[in-house]
Structures are given as C-alpha cells and as structure tokens.
Amino acid sequence: MNARLNNTVALVTGASSGIGEATARGLAAQGAAVAVLGRRRERLEALADKVRADGGTACVVAADITDRQQAAAAVDRVVAELGRLDTVVNNAGYMGAGQAVDSPLDEWDRMLEVNVQGLLYITHAALPHLLSAAQDSPRGVADLVNISSTGGRVARPGTAVYNLTEFGVNGFTEALRQEVSHKRVRVSVVEPGTVDTELSTHLRDGVRQAVERQIANMELLRPEDIADAICYIVTRDRRVAVNEILVRAGEQTW
C-alpha cells in the first residue's frame, strides 16, 4: 500500500470503539501517527497497542471533549507529543431518540454537549494547528472531517433533537469549509446511515427495541465502511476536496 499520510499526525475523537477505532487503524495504515481520544482509557490503550503491533505510531489521550478545558488540553497534548496536527476526525457522537413530549431533558443535553459542543471545542483548538500544517506539510494540505449522519439530511419523527444536532454539524461544516479552503485546509462531512456500532445501545428501553425492529432485516454498514470513506477524503491530492460523502446501508430508505 502507498502510505499517503507518512509524516503526518491525525487525531480521532470517539476512538474507543466503532467508527473511531476503525478510522484510527485506517489512518495509521496510511502512515499517519494517530492520536486516539476518548473517555475509556483501557479501550484506547488496547487500540494503540494494535496500531503499534501493525508498525504504526499511536498516542492515547483520555479526555471528555464536552469539557472545554479538557478538549483544548487534549489537542495541545497531541501537538506536544507528536509534533504537529494534520488531520482531525470529529467522530464522537451520542444519539437519543423517542417522541419529544416524553423525552428526558438530560438526553437532549447530552446530544447537544457531545454532538455540538464537543465538536466545536475540538475544532476551535485544532484549527490553528491545521492551518499551520497546511503551510509546511509536503502534502500541502490539512483536513478536518466531521462525522454527521443521515439524520443531518432527513428529519424523522422520534429523532428531533438528534436531527437538530446533525443538521447543525452539516451547516457548520459547510460554512467553515468556505472560511478556510483558500488556506488549504479541507473541511468535509461524512454522513453514515445505519452502522453496526454501540451508538444505539444508549437508547432507552422501548425506544431501543423499536429501532432494533426497524433495522432487523437490514444488513448494517460496518465501521470499516465509514473509515474507508474518511481515509478516501484525507488521502486525496491537494487539488481535490471531497466536501461530503453520504453512505447508506444498501436497504436503507431514509
């Protein structure tokens, strides 16, 4: 394999499982030194060991990105330990569902904290480093990839606040893209459909079972399918900017 990301550093949030874990391994396979960020240190350490066993470089950063100071300190630590920052994948996410009238406010708060505030805190801290990397990298480009959802494209009953956060991520991504594209920082969004991850395990009883029935006869996407899309975006030549990738499961209609 042509390691297109040699001598670059990538940060992946929500890296302790699912799409984040698969993405970190994919970026490492392309030659990037990867910083894996999440709250579950043991899982992050296990992932870092896998990356190193495959010949890669990994840095573990255990932090809660919904805390502004922790998010900024996490980015600072990555740059201090690995020397630079060329790629950021904002993958951490939380999904709640159910009718608005009887949804707990704590669930709504959590979606806003993780899907919006956490993404903003990491982005704000990382942007100066990405702008710097784009100037001195042999690749001549840096990348910020935000992971949204089909929930950022299609609003459906039962996911109102999740739709709010993911539509917001899509809008933020596009506006930021226009701000920094002339400085060779590419800003992209990937919108996964139904993926076999832990995301739905946080759903409340009753809601979770309804979602499971809805997807029972569907072959779900795998985390590696989304990681492939992310790796495709960030390994393009500097002349190519892939702004958006929507990836649905084959039988998914929404």
What are the backbone angles phi and psi of residue 11, rounded to the nearest 5°?
Answer: -115, 130
What are the backbone angles phi and psi of residue 130, rounded to the nearest 5°?
Answer: -65, -40
> Rounded to an integer, what distance in angstroms lies between the CA atom of residue 145 and that of residue 233?
8
Confirm whether 162 is a catalytic residue. yes
Determine which one of 94, 121, 162, 232 is catalytic. 162
Q: Is 143 helix (H, G, I), strand (E, B) or coil?
A: strand
> Rounded to an integer, what distance in angstroms lies between the CA atom of residue 102 and that of residue 92?
26
**HSE-up of 186 (CA within 13 Å, CB side)?**
26
Selection from 196, 205, 187 nearest residue 143 by Cα? 187
Residues catalogued as catalytic: 162
